[in-house]
Amino acid sequence: MDGIINLLKPPGMTSHDAVNVVRRLTGIKRVGHTGTLDPGAAGVLPICLGKATRVSEYVLGMDKSYRAELSLGQATDTEDAAGQPVLTRPVPSLTTHGVELVLRGFLGTVSQIPPMYSAVRVAGKRLYELARRGEVVEREPREIQIYKIKLLKISETSILFELDCSRGTYVRTLCRNIAEKLGSAGHMSFLLRTAVGPFLLGSAVTFEELAQFAEAGCITKALLPLDLALANMQAVTVDESQAARLRNGLAVTLRLKTSDGELFRVYDSSQAFLAIATADREQIKPLKVFI
């Protein structure tokens, strides 16, 4: 059983917990997620089964979309509603124009410092492990990309917005930074991930639906093809002799307009997904072979 489940993770559980539930429902041991989603958050969490675990790194690198709520007036140590208050500031009078102006200031390339309550490693230790011991260490800023940020709703003490961003973006930290630019303090009080690359909220399956498929013996209805994770790679088709070479780890010559190092998804003559390959001059070399 090989493929990807576009799971709708409920709030209140870790991504690791979600993997364990999928493993139990499907009976498949080789299961992995494609990047953590905060325990308090809900939304899209692609889960890879069987051979699809070999493409999880490509899903991890995909752009993400979110819907988030920023509550103003109080900052927390975790930058979300689960944390302890650390700072209180008055909330200024908010206007749609003023908030939109601040949000637009975060478009493009943004330098972001990972929060202490995160899985980033510093000197071999997870930051959240240090944070739980009361330690605060210096973190290197990281560049992220904010492609779109749109105000949806505004109230006296909160704003709701949508966000399209690159991998590695901490929406909690973005909320804190937005609050500071608005002249207040704040924390993320709600987060819904609406997309991971081509994996969309509208087509995500719940645990209840997955359990029904499992009970009916048709869990494959929830599986998406593993090459969906490679949709941003150029597709090439090879003949049977070329397919045989690739299966044996050998390069094949293809006259393609490409640059060295470019990745391809390769299909055999029956259009079965065969391999991920990389370009090297006029050849492609297999990186990962699937059949």
Q: Which residues are catalytic?
A: 38
Interstrand relation of 234-237 and 263-267 (parallel, antiparallel or unpaired)? parallel
Long-range contacts at 97-103 (CB < 8 A, ≥ 24 apart): 98/182, 99/151, 99/154, 99/159, 99/182, 100/151, 102/178, 102/181, 102/182, 103/149, 103/150, 103/151, 103/161, 103/178
- Angle separating helix axes 207-215 and 15-26, nearest 10 degrees: 10
Interstrand relation of 263-267 and 31-33 (parallel, antiparallel or unpaired)? unpaired
Report the C-alpha gap between 92 and 178 in whole angstroms: 13
Residues 254, 226 contacting (CB under 8 angstroms) = no
Tracing tokens 């973190």 back to the chain, one arrives at 139
Report the C-alpha gap between 258 and 280 in whole angstroms: 9
Residues 162, 149 contacting (CB under 8 angstroms) = yes
Residue type, 287: L
**Which ranges of the chain does DSSP label H, i.e. alpha helix?**
15-26, 56-60, 96-104, 127-132, 171-181, 207-215, 240-247
